[in-house]
């Protein structure tokens, strides 16, 4: 049975997996985080499995938050949430804005226990856990935190670093070339790899290239089939001081075109943030890629590798001013996927030491 159709779960961990799958159904470009919630009936004498009273996810700014949606789902089924356990992917908010406080909604419904994956770093909305505990609700945090943070990575970056989340896309040969010695580059990667790249474009708010790539390739920076069903196209951004021709493909929809007349990656992200951009994919060229890497502003890398060798031609990344292997810009491989004849390697920043211990072990032991 698909996880979304479950009527009962065997553990709070299974409920969190369901909540995460629900959260992922929310809009990826929304200014609000993707959040899912599952309400579990109070434990019976037999403990597990426990019945699911309601489920919900946030459908976008102005709509009910996941907790409220789950409570509404339970009420519509005639279920009473008193004594229930709420399993949520993000700490319930303590803020009343376009929608009421989720912490208050859970208290009013009589929920006895709350388990969440990720603490809310937003000072405007945080504090829900403390409010719930103060009213006698058992609160446990950290269950499947890494998965929750991965889902919320774009939103978390915006809150904690006050800038757009940056994906660097690299499409190269095995020896790291993005063009042959004669400048030819279409196409290094296969149809399957390019189709996947368009799916990724559909998730982003903006696609960015430098003026050199714009002049050499005249890209449209749009989302094309099979991802053309997106509700809106991303912003098309060209970065650099050189002019962009009036007939350039990126100008096809003037309202979606932005020329950032700077070589400064920090300044570029500041302007994009001011325009409401939350996630930008940097697609090149080598100079722009190096600028974002040198500034420490790349959050993840999608490296599409074609099984060909050129031995000469432009490199995917320009100089990073690194003179020794010990100073290398290092990344952690998160996943590897075959795409036709090509391979996608998805990389993230190397993990840092945990600043605070996770309480996932406590959450695993929620009372049955």
Per mean pLDDT, which range of 150-154, 244-248, 289-293, 359-363 is the poorest?
A: 359-363
In this predicted model, what pLDDT tens digit does every residue of 65-85 receive, in sequence order?
999 999 999 999 999 999 999
- Residue 276: predicted pLDDT: 95
Least confident segment among 125-139, 200-214, 352-366: 352-366
Q: Across the chain, how many H-helices and E-strands are there?
A: 11, 14
**What is the pLDDT at residue 4?**
59
Q: Is 70 exceeded by the pLDDT of residue 199? A: yes
pLDDT band at 358 (very low <50, low <70, confident <90, very high): very low
What was the pLDDT predicted at 359?
Answer: 39
Neighbours of 352 (CB within 10 A): 6
Domains of the chain: 3-158 (3.40.140.10), 163-349 (3.40.430.10)
DSSP 23: H
Is residue 337's pLDDT more than 70?
A: yes
Residue 12 burial (10 A CB sphere; 0-12, 13-18, 19+): buried
Phi-psi region of 281 (alpha: psi -120 to 50; beta: other; left: phi over 0): beta
Report whether 118 contacts 149 (CB < 8 A).
Answer: yes
Q: What is the pLDDT of residue 352?
A: 54
202 versus 366: which is more confidently predicted? 202
Q: Specify the higher pLDDT residue, 353 or 225.
A: 225
**Could you tell me if 280 and 265 are in contact, meaning their C-beta atoms sit under 8 angstroms apart?**
no
Question: Vertex 210, ends 206 and 216: CA angle to 5°?
Answer: 115
Give the mean pLDDT of 294-305.
96
Q: Which has the minimum average pLDDT: 5-19, 95-109, 187-201, 319-333?
A: 95-109
Nearest Cα neighbor of 11 from 110, 87, 101 is: 87
The catalytic residues are: 67
Average pLDDT, the chain: 90
pLDDT at position 184 is 86
Give the mean pLDDT of 47-70. Answer: 92
Q: CA–CA separation, 69 vs 19, rounded Å?
A: 12
Q: In terms of C-beta density within 10 A (0-12 exposed, 13-18 middle, 19 or more buried), how is residue 145 classed?
A: buried
Kindly report, residue by residue over 167-191, the tens digit of the pLDDT: 999 999 999 999 899 888 888 999 9
Q: Residue 268 corresponds to which tokens in the numbers above?
A: 């570029």
Confidence tier at 98 by pLDDT (50, 70, 90): low
């Amino acid at each position: 049975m698909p996880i979304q159709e479950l009527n009962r779960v065997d553990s709070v961990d299974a409920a969190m997996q369901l909540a995460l799958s629900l959260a992922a159904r929310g809009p990826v470009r929304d200014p609000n985080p993707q959040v899912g919630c599952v309400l579990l009936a109070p434990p019976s004498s037999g403990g597990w499995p426990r019945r699911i009273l309601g489920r919900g996810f946030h459908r976008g700014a102005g709509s009910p938050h996941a907790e409220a949606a789950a409570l509404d789902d339970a009420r519509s089924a005639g279920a009473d949430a008193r004594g229930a356990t709420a399993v949520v992917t993000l700490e319930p908010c303590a803020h009343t804005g376009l929608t009421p406080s989720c912490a208050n909604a859970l208290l009013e419904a009589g929920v006895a226990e709350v388990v969440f994956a990720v603490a809310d770093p937003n000072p405007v909305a945080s504090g829900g856990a403390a409010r719930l505990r103060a009213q006698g609700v058992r609160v446990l945090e950290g269950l499947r935190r890494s998965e929750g943070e991965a889902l919320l990575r774009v939103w978390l970056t915006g809150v904690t670093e006050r800038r757009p989340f940056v994906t660097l896309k690299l499409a190269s040969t095995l020896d790291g070339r993005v063009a042959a010695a004669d400048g030819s580059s279409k196409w290094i990667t296969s149809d399957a790899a390019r189709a996947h790249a368009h799916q990724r474009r559909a998730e982003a708010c903006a696609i960015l290239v430098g003026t050199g790539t714009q002049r050499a390739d005249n890209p449209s920076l749009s989302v094309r089939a099979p991802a053309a069903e997106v509700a809106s196209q991303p912003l098309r951004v060209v970065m650099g001081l050189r002019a962009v021709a009036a007939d350039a493909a990126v100008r096809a929809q003037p309202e979606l075109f932005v020329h950032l007349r700077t070589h400064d990656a920090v300044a570029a992200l500041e302007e994009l943030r001011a325009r409401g951009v939350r996630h930008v994919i940097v697609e090149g060229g080598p100079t722009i890629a190096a600028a974002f890497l040198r500034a420490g502003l790349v959050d993840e890398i999608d490296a599409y590798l074609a099984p060909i060798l050129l031995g000469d031609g432009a490199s995917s990344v320009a100089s990073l001013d690194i003179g020794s292997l010990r100073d290398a810009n290092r990344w952690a491989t998160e996943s590897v996927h075959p795409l036709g004849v090509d391979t996608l390697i998805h990389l993230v920043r190397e993990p840092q030491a945990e600043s605070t211990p996770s309480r996932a072990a406590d959450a695993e032991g929620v009372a049955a």
